[in-house]
Amino acid sequence: MKATEIERKSFDKSLDGILELFNNLEEDVPIIHFSDDVIENIERAKEKYGEDRVHQKINAIVGEMLSWLELEEDDSGSEAEETTDNDS
């Protein structure tokens, strides 16, 4: 059975409504909160160098920075604690 044009439009509208509800179920929370200046520079870089290249560069830099941190748990099961000179 083929749907009529009216049925198709009704289905499309209903599907759009369902997708909008689904997309609004969870609030989008950014992983990193950049300052306005950084966001502006990222946008300018994307215009100049392209979105893919800028994403690759940012991912490489963040990945390198995260490699400096102890993210794995130690043998006792507790997370590694960062110590500073002020802790003494």
HEC readout, 16-47: HHHHHHHHCCCCCCCCCCCCHHHHHHHHHHHH
| 75 within some domain | no
* H or E element at residue 59: helix 51-67
| 86 within some domain | no
Query: Mind listing the pLDDT tens digit of every residue in the chain (88 residues)?
Result: 677 888 888 888 989 889 888 878 877 788 899 999 999 999 999 999 999 999 999 999 999 999 999 988 766 554 445 554 445 4
Both tokens of residue 70? 């102890």
| 88 within some domain | no
Answering whether pTM is above 0.75, one says no
| 83 within some domain | no
Both tokens of residue 5? 């044009």
Both tokens of residue 2? 């083929």
Residue 28: give the domain boundaries.
5-70
Total structural domains within the chain: 1
Could you give the C-alpha distances from 19 to 15, 16, 23, 25, 29, in angstroms and in order?
Answer: 6, 5, 6, 10, 19
| 28 within some domain | yes
